Amino acid sequence: MINPKTWHVSEENEDERIDKWLAKAMGASRTAVQQWVRDGYVLVGGKQVKSNYKLQKGDNILAEPPSEEPFALEAEDIPLDIRYEDDDLLVVNKARGMVVHPAPGHFTGGTLVHALLHYTDALSDVNGELRPGIVHRIDKDTSGLMVVAKTNHAHTHLVEQLQRRSLSRVYRALVHGAVSHEEGTIEAPIGRDPFDRQKMAVTDVHAKEAITHFDVLERFSDYTIIRCRLETGRTHQIRVHMAYIGHPVVADPKYGNRRHSHLLSGQALHAEELTLVHPSDSEMYTFHAPLPDDMEQLIEGIRRAGE
One-letter amino acid for residue 147 of the chain: V
* Residue 306 confidence (pLDDT) above 90: no
pLDDT score at 11: 86
pLDDT score at 1: 47
DSSP state of 262: T
Note the pLDDT tens digit of each residue in 236-260. Answer: 999 999 999 999 999 998 998 877 7
First to last CA, the chain: 63
Catalytic residue set: 139
* Residue 70 confidence (pLDDT) above 60: no
Task: Quickly state the pLDDT bin for 89 (edges 50, 70, 90).
Answer: very high
Of 76 and 71, more confident: 76
Rounded to the nearest 10 degrees, the angle between the axes of helix 30-39 and helix 18-26 is: 120
pLDDT score at 182: 97
CA distance 24 to 63: 13
Average pLDDT over residues 258-274: 87
One-letter amino acid for residue 47 of the chain: K
Note the pLDDT tens digit of each residue in 39-68. Answer: 888 999 988 899 999 999 999 999 888 765
- Mean pLDDT across the chain, nearest whole number? 91
- Which are the contacts of 302, defined by CB distance < 8 A and separation ≥ 6? 174, 220, 223
* Distance from the Cα of residue 181 to its chain's centroid: 28
pLDDT score at 91: 98
3-state secondary structure of 122: coil
pLDDT score at 104: 55
DSSP state of 33: H
- Which are the contacts of 119, defined by CB distance < 8 A and separation ≥ 6? 80, 82
Which of 134, 139, 115, 137 has the alpha carbon at shortest distance from 124? 134
* Residue 112 confidence (pLDDT) above 90: yes
CA distance 157 to 136: 13
Of 25-29, 197-201, 291-295, give the lowest mean pLDDT range: 25-29
CA distance 107 to 110: 10
pLDDT score at 174: 97
Note the pLDDT tens digit of each residue in 92-110. Answer: 999 999 999 886 545 678 9
CA distance 18 to 43: 10
